[in-house]
């Protein structure tokens, strides 16, 4: 039996807060001069200035709370995951992390960068062999066969036994793993396979708030309020100890029965009215779409004619996103989120079955084009140039969670 599943951290994308000095988060004491450290996980594109600005924006709209200064410093992803592991393993009083559908958990080894524990969830399960799917420095995915695990004394081995049901996987520096395939067996001689997605992680930071005065719960409430913060924290998990877990993003916000949810922030320095999107595409399909757009943009006024063509090619409202279609998705602007947001209907079961039998024919690539429209003249419309003076009037993107999450996306009720 081939079981395809994935592992994510139980907190999704978020932050861990550790209050230092005073009584901390358990009592939420308002002591002058307190310091709060926050371990932040954010989008791959969110830089330190953006994180700092979110906290300042939330602080400025929060009553009875203040801090004197904020410092945001990058930290390694392993450091963030280590804190998450400490919490979920019960050293502080919060719920533990959950395993994936195959019963497997993947966690970083404390104090050993690049080393990961593969916990099979049962001492009666045995790992016979493993291989890792990872992204190379040039962005391509490849698979490394690790073979059979060796004895626990081989500390430099890529895969070794640790304890009943647990094995240590050692990755080289700068490797970006996507999934691990496991060949398993048990005492009865039964064999099985499991492909487990790697815990996802974005950019990580250590945020230090100094001179804290007031109740930090008020700040956390503001960070969750989309009226106060453009991209609010979606999840917040208070701890009975000096730790709070929250999230700048919903965990798998796109995974809803019968829908794929897409969200793009407003591009910097632009004010487009809508976003046009072709998705999902394989690499060959992406190249064909880009070639077609280049042809349509060749005339001097091509960028003013393209909006009308997009409108003709639009996926009708309510229609499902079908395989092999050539329709463009119109993504409207949502002022409340300051982003372009849409829920596109899909036949989840059909996509899953097709992906299972034809994985090479389902891509995760997207082509985007931003349309500006004159508020005073509906006929004055154009496709904006992105990426500066030398940039194009469209851009390409990879929506990685699409292929990773599709096999286990929830199905609508019949």
Residue 109's CB is within 10 A of a number of other CB atoms, namely 17
Residue at 414 is within a domain: no
Residue 396 host element (H or E): strand 395-398
pLDDT at 6 (0 to 100): 27
Tokens found for residue 303: 């960028």
Asked if 130 contacts 159 with a C-beta cutoff of 8 angstroms, the reply is: yes
Tally DSSP H helices, then E strands, for the chain.
7, 23
Tokens found for residue 20: 């230092």
pLDDT at 409 (0 to 100): 80
Its domain, for residue 390, covers 259-408
Asked if 329 contacts 259 with a C-beta cutoff of 8 angstroms, the reply is: no
pLDDT at 248 (0 to 100): 56
Counting every residue written for the chain, the total comes to: 414
Which of 251, 282, 305 is where one domain is finished? 251
pLDDT at 116 (0 to 100): 84
Q: How far apart are CA 41 and CA 403, in angstroms?
A: 22
Residues 6+ apart with CB under 8 A from 112: none
Which of 251, 280, 305 is where one domain is finished? 251
Pairing of strands 191-197, 2-6: parallel
Asked if 167 contacts 149 with a C-beta cutoff of 8 angstroms, the reply is: yes
Domain co-membership, 263 together with 131: no
Q: How far apart are CA 377 and CA 253, in angstroms?
A: 36
Which of 234, 251, 268 is where one domain is finished? 251
Half-sphere exposure of 123 (CA within 13 A, CB side): 2
pLDDT at 81 (0 to 100): 66
For the CA atoms of 117, 123, 128, 133, the dihedral, rounded to the nearest 10 degrees, stands at: -30
Return averaged pLDDT per consecutive 10 residues of the chain, 414 residues in all.
Answer: 28 38 35 69 76 89 90 76 58 40 71 78 86 72 86 84 87 75 85 79 78 85 82 55 50 66 78 92 92 94 94 93 91 84 89 87 90 89 77 82 78 74
Asked if 30 contacts 215 with a C-beta cutoff of 8 angstroms, the reply is: yes
Residue 352 host element (H or E): helix 348-357
Residue at 413 is within a domain: no
Beta bridge partner(s), residue 132: 144, 180
Residue 84's CB is within 10 A of a number of other CB atoms, namely 23
Residue at 345 is within a domain: yes
pLDDT at 329 (0 to 100): 95
- Short-list 290, 269, 299, 292, CA closest to 384: 269
Asked if 281 contacts 368 with a C-beta cutoff of 8 angstroms, the reply is: no
**pTM for the predicted model, two decimal places:** 0.44
Domain co-membership, 285 together with 237: no
The tally of domains found in the chain comes to: 2
Domain co-membership, 99 together with 237: yes
């Amino acid at each position: 039996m081939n079981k395809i599943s994935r592992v994510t951290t139980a907190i999704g994308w978020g932050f861990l807060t550790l209050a230092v000095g005073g009584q901390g988060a358990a009592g939420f004491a308002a002591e002058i001069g307190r310091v709060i450290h926050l371990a932040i996980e954010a989008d791959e594109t969110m830089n330190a200035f953006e994180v700092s600005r979110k906290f300042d924006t939330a602080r400025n709209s929060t009553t009875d709370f203040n801090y004197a200064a904020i410092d945001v410093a990058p930290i390694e992803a392993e450091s963030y995951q280590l804190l998450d592991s400490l919490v979920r393993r019960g050293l502080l009083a919060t719920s533990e992390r959950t395993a994936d559908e195959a019963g497997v958990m993947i966690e970083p080894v404390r104090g050993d960068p690049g080393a990961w524990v593969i916990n099979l969830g049962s001492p009666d399960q045995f790992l016979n062999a493993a291989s890792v799917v990872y992204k190379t420095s040039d962005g391509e995915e490849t698979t490394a066969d690790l073979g059979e695990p060796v004895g626990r004394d081989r500390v430099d081995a890529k895969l070794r036994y640790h304890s009943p049901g647990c094995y240590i996987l050692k990755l080289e520096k700068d490797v970006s793993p996507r999934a691990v395939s496991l060949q398993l067996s048990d005492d009865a001689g039964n064999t099985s396979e499991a492909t487990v997605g790697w815990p996802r992680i974005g950019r990580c930071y250590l945020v230090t708030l100094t001179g804290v005065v007031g109740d930090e719960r008020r700040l956390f409430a503001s960070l969750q309020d989309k009226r106060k913060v453009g991209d609010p924290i979606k999840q917040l998990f208070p701890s009975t100890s000096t730790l709070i877990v929250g999230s700048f993003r919903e965990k798998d916000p796109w995974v809803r029965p019968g829908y794929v949810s897409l969200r793009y922030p407003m591009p910097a320095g632009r004010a487009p009215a809508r976003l046009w999107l072709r998705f999902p595409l394989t690499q060959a399909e992406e190249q064909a779409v880009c070639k077609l757009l280049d042809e349509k943009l060749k005339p001097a006024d091509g960028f003013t004619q393209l909006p009308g063509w997009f409108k003709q090619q639009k996926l009708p409202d309510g229609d499902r996103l079908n395989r092999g279609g050539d329709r463009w998705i119109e993504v409207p602007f949502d002022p409340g989120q300051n982003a372009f947001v849409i829920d596109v209907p899909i036949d989840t079961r059909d996509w899953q079955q097709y992906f299972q039998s034809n994985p090479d024919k389902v891509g995760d690539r997207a082509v985007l084009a931003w349309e500006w429209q004159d508020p005073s003249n509906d006929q004055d419309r154009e496709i904006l140039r992105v990426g500066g003076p030398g940039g194009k009037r469209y851009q390409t993107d990879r929506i990685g969670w699409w292929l990773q999450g599709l096999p286990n996306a929830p199905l609508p009720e019949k």
